[in-house]
A and B are shown apart, each in its own frame.
Chain A
Amino acid sequence: MQMPPPNETTLSQRADIAAGLGAIVGEAHVMADDASLKAFESDGLSAYRQTPMLVVLPGDTQEVSRVLAYCAKHDVKVVPRGAGTGLSGGALPLADGVTLGLGRFNRIFEIDYANRSAVVQPGVANLAISQAMDSAGFYYAPDPSSQIACSIGGNVAENSGGVHSLKYGLTTNNLLGVEMVLMDGEVIRVGGKQFDSDGYDFLGLITGSEGMLGVITEVTVRILPKPPNARALLMGFASNDDAGRCVAGIIAAGIIPAGLELMDRPAIHAVEEFCHAGYPLDAEAILICELDGPEVEVEELARRVGDIAATCGATSSRVSEDEAERQRFWLGRKSAFPAAGRIAPDYYVMDGTIPRGRLSEVLNRISELSEEYDLKVANVFHAGDGNLHPLILFDANIPGELERTEKMGGEILKLCVAVGGVLTGEHGVGVEKRDLMGEMFSETDLKQQQRVKCAFDAGQLLNPGKVFPTLHRCAELGRMHVHGGEMPFPDLPRF
């Protein structure tokens, strides 16, 4: 992975920069020693590592503003960082960059039940938001599996999803407003507690922008009343194909479950060994389908889903009888990543999205790839919305195996694009999928996206080297190359 070459001038000024930042945030909140810096060298994608030049931990918006203004003035690159659980290297440090950690932004400012919203700092963990309002019967819907640890600011930057996104949407559908600081230090607020705002949708644009447009310093989220009942169905199938048809059947019947997850045989066996969730070991694939809402609705839908599963040849089907059983059904799914970690020294999480209908075709091709590359794969799949997480199992200590894994991962993602899907459903492009962007986008498409980046950060100092395979200077991108000038298609009618 090629990163922009470090700026030697910046590196030579490291001590001055540390002092300059220390004057803003207090010396205690600037880290410059190797041992401290080491803790920041990677995010959740640990295959990529880089020690940052410095780490700075500002304490409030004003400090963020001054840090960014200082860095802009001295031409220093900045990498924002939340909890560092990202899986695409979005928070991967730069050798000549300052990693700006939001760890001290850990307060929940306000829970406004009358407006069904909450105002929090970006460093607050996703789950902590729901916990803070649990006793009042409310929650924040997007629930990434990393929700104990990942920060809401990171969720906004990645537009994270969770197993309940099928019904309740991704981060972007559950946000009302943010405060953020641009690279020049300017503080802007977009949105608020209202549903919609006029003007360009900066809120939507910032969500999923991977820390490249600004540093988010406050987040207003929408909160929802907790559904009164929830039940999960655990269904086993003799083939991926049957499970895939069941998914299509549920959607075709007009049912949007709260969650609809698929796991294939290797994944089932890995998690059974890990946590004994009670999954059927004879199944080629299982589906977990969660239904929530009023009692009558949950009961009726559970019956309908059970019927659909039967017509698709389900080999087993069970509705959770109580909350403990529902939790147990989910336990396996939620442990999929650590379970993979147990059966192999290393695992690599992929994150493509495909049209639901292409599921079994894609899974078949993945198992062919698995043989070609001689690497085992376990598949977990947000089947309801087509988001596939193949886990490639490997051993980084075997020379060449990481490279082979990455190559195979690239093949899987290209396959996703080829069947009409996309490179990443929720984990982001980061550095990981940067060089694959050309699979989905033309040079023209990418340049327009980069111009958006330039509108926010003309010096390209904020998280550079991520998302875009080629860096272009903003001045060059801004130029227009239009020929013509002839009155177009003069033979066409004009009125």
Chain B
Amino acid sequence: MAQTLKPGTVDELVQAVEWAVSGTHPLELVGGGSKRALGRPVQAEMTLDLSAFSGITEYQPEELQLTAGAATPLAEIEAALSDKNQMLAFEPADYSALLGSKAEATLGGVLACNLSGPRRIKAGAARDHLLGFHAVSGRAEDFKAGGKVVKNVTGYDLCKLLTGSWGTLAAMHEVSLKVLPAPELTRTVLIMGLDDARAVAAMGEALASAHDVSAAAHLPAALAARSAVPYVNEAGTAVTALRVEGIGPSVEARCRDLRNMFAPLGDGEELHRMYSRQFWQEIRDAAPFAGDARALWRISLPPAEGAKLVAALGQSLIAEAYYDWAGGLVWLALAAGEDASADSVHAAVAAHGGHATLLRAPADVRAAVAVFMPQAPAVAALTKRLKESFDPAGVLNSGRMYPGV
């Protein structure tokens, strides 16, 4: 195992990167370490432990803004927010169980991987909530971008760029986030017994309706049976779920309207507080696949294509899938084998549009196949130039996304 450098201050972080650059010692960036099994395996000489950059430095509920060290545990952030009835609206996912990690997820890790949960369809992704950051680039320079206010077009939006860059551009040490009021009431309408295609169509109708659905997912029967939520695991059939959030009377009215709208399709049910929360946590964290070791693809595609893609892949592969984002996010599990059937998955995604990320697979498989979709040549070249503009020596998480990047 590689040695670890653990800077305690920003100056030390700069020094650490200076050292890495001067002798080209590649570093692997780690916050809490809960996501080390994500992405391509990094061949680093040293681990750069950022855990010292932790703690909430500024939280102003009335400004809907929170600033914290990048390695602040997500749990700490969520506890502070929940104290004030607020939340990170993008519903950051926790893949610890999925990846078999005991480490704690940190804010910086969630941002670096742009991991958003079911509310993505309404509230946006992690990338839509980063207002500003301070980071040390691969040039060993401490720099900042963005600010602490929501409306800001001063300079390029490097917040978007850093979110989802998997630590390959800079080591963030402080981040400012947009936070939002938590809903007063949450309920989930369940529709039982739809096949995948009809479920995706129904979720689309729900999203096109005026009922302001904040999450829409579909579990085929076998996966519904694996849920820990009573109404779901007892259904004995597929379960399609629509979440409604807001103030009490509005939630009640919208649930009623949704149930009426879908009554002709089959039996309805409703999940209230705790079960609703538990259900969406399962969907968010890919819990239906946490108990096995299969390869897992996370496929983001045009929502109406979701069921078609799964049907097409089902013709040649033995796979299991469920849908989030009204069909726009497919979780697909299949035997890891040597290549996690990457060619078939990529070909299918190319036909239906979107991106497939190999979210879970043994390290040798992740080293062998494209974990992130292969890019068009011009985009790949741009990616390389951008990487070089931040990290010319390639010392920050190089290879995590693409060879050399």
Q: Which residues on A are within 8 Å of B, measured CB to CB?
A: 112-117, 138, 158-159, 161, 165, 169-170, 172-173, 182, 186-190, 192-205, 207-209, 213, 225-228, 248, 251-252, 254-256, 293-297, 300-301, 353-357, 382, 385-387, 420-429, 433, 437, 440-442, 444-446, 448-449, 451-456, 467, 478, 480, 482-489, 492-495
Q: Which residues on B are within 8 Å of A, measured CB to CB?
A: 3-8, 12, 15-16, 18-19, 21-23, 60-65, 85, 114, 116, 120-121, 124-125, 127-128, 137, 139-145, 147-161, 163-165, 180-182, 184, 204, 207-212, 246-247, 249-250, 253-254, 257, 300-305, 325, 328-329, 353-355, 357, 372-373, 375-376, 378-379, 382-383, 385-386, 388-390, 392-393, 401
Cβ–Cβ contact A300 & B181, under 8 A:
no
- 10 more contacts with CB within 8 A, not counting A114-B204, A161-B151, A486-B15, are A112-B304, A172-B128, A189-B379, A198-B357, A294-B212, A353-B147, A385-B149, A427-B153, A448-B143, A449-B155
Instruction: Give the CA-CA distance A213 to B389 in the complex, in Å.
Output: 14
Q: Which residues of B contact A112 (CB under 8 A)?
A: 302, 304
Q: Which residues of B contact A161 (CB under 8 A)?
A: 151
Closest CB of chain A to B143's CB: distance in Å?
5
Can you name 11 A-B residue pairings with CB atoms under 8 Å? A169-B128, A190-B379, A196-B125, A197-B300, A197-B354, A207-B160, A296-B253, A441-B154, A467-B155, A482-B139, A493-B6
Instruction: Give the CA-CA distance A494 to B63 in the complex, in Å.
Output: 40
Instruction: Give the CA-CA distance A165 to B209 in the complex, in Å.
Output: 21
Q: Which residues of B contact A114 (CB under 8 A)?
A: 204, 303-304
How many cross-chain pairs have Cβ atoms below 8 Å apart between A and B?
310
Cβ–Cβ contact B142 & A444, under 8 A:
yes
Most A CB contacts (10 A, CB to CB) among B139, B211, B376, B392 go to: B139
Nearest residue in A to B126 (C-beta to C-beta)? Answer: A196
Cβ–Cβ contact A488 & B140, under 8 A:
no
Q: Which residues of A contact B303 (CB under 8 A)?
A: 114-116
Cβ–Cβ contact A297 & B249, under 8 A:
yes
Cβ–Cβ contact B149 & A355, under 8 A:
yes
Cβ–Cβ contact B390 & A451, under 8 A:
yes
Q: Which residues of B contact A186 (CB under 8 A)?
A: 378
Closest CB of chain A to B398's CB: distance in Å?
14
Instruction: Give the CA-CA distance A255 to B124 in the complex, in Å.
Output: 18
Q: Which residues of A contact B328 (CB under 8 A)?
A: 194-195
Which listed residue, B18, B139, B383, touches A200 by the CB 8 Å rule? B383
Which listed residue, A255, A295, A488, touches B7 by the CB 8 Å rule? A488
Cβ–Cβ contact A452 & B4, under 8 A:
no
Cβ–Cβ contact A437 & B382, under 8 A:
no
Closest CB of chain A to B62's CB: distance in Å?
5
Instruction: Give the CA-CA distance A447 to B385 in the complex, in Å.
Output: 15
Cβ–Cβ contact B153 & A355, under 8 A:
no
Which listed residue, A301, A387, A448, touches B247 by the CB 8 Å rule? A301
Q: Which residues of B contact A385 (CB under 8 A)?
A: 149-151
A225-B157 CB under 8 A given contacts A251-B64, A296-B253: no
Instruction: Give the CA-CA distance A485 to B145 in the complex, in Å.
Output: 27
What 7 pairs between A and B have smallest CB-CB spacing?
A: A204-B160, A254-B181, A297-B250, A485-B22, A425-B151, A488-B15, A484-B18
Cβ–Cβ contact A188 & B302, under 8 A:
no
Cβ–Cβ contact B62 & A252, under 8 A:
yes
Instruction: Give the CA-CA distance A420 to B148 in the complex, in Å.
Output: 7
Closest CB of chain B to A83's CB: distance in Å?
18
Which listed residue, A422, A449, A455, A487, touches B382 by the CB 8 Å rule? A455
Which listed residue, A173, A194, A248, touches B355 by the CB 8 Å rule? A194
Closest CB of chain A to B67's CB: distance in Å?
11
Cβ–Cβ contact A188 & B156, under 8 A:
no
Most B CB contacts (10 A, CB to CB) among A161, A187, A192 go to: A192
A482-B161 CB under 8 A given contacts A385-B150, A451-B390: no
Closest CB of chain B to A437's CB: distance in Å?
7
Cβ–Cβ contact B160 & A205, under 8 A:
yes
Q: Which residues of B contact A437 (CB under 8 A)?
A: 154-155
Cβ–Cβ contact B382 & A296, under 8 A:
no
Q: Which residues of A contact B247 (CB under 8 A)?
A: 297, 300-301
Q: Which residues of B contact A423 (CB under 8 A)?
A: 154
Cβ–Cβ contact A480 & B21, under 8 A:
yes
Cβ–Cβ contact A198 & B210, under 8 A:
no
Cβ–Cβ contact A194 & B353, under 8 A:
yes
Q: Which residues of B contact A251 (CB under 8 A)?
A: 62, 64, 181
Cβ–Cβ contact A198 & B63, under 8 A:
no
A478-B392 CB under 8 A given contacts A115-B302, A189-B376: yes
Q: Which residues of A contact B157 (CB under 8 A)?
A: 159, 172, 204-205, 207-209
Cβ–Cβ contact A159 & B6, under 8 A:
no
Instruction: Give the CA-CA distance A248 to B181 in the complex, in Å.
Output: 13
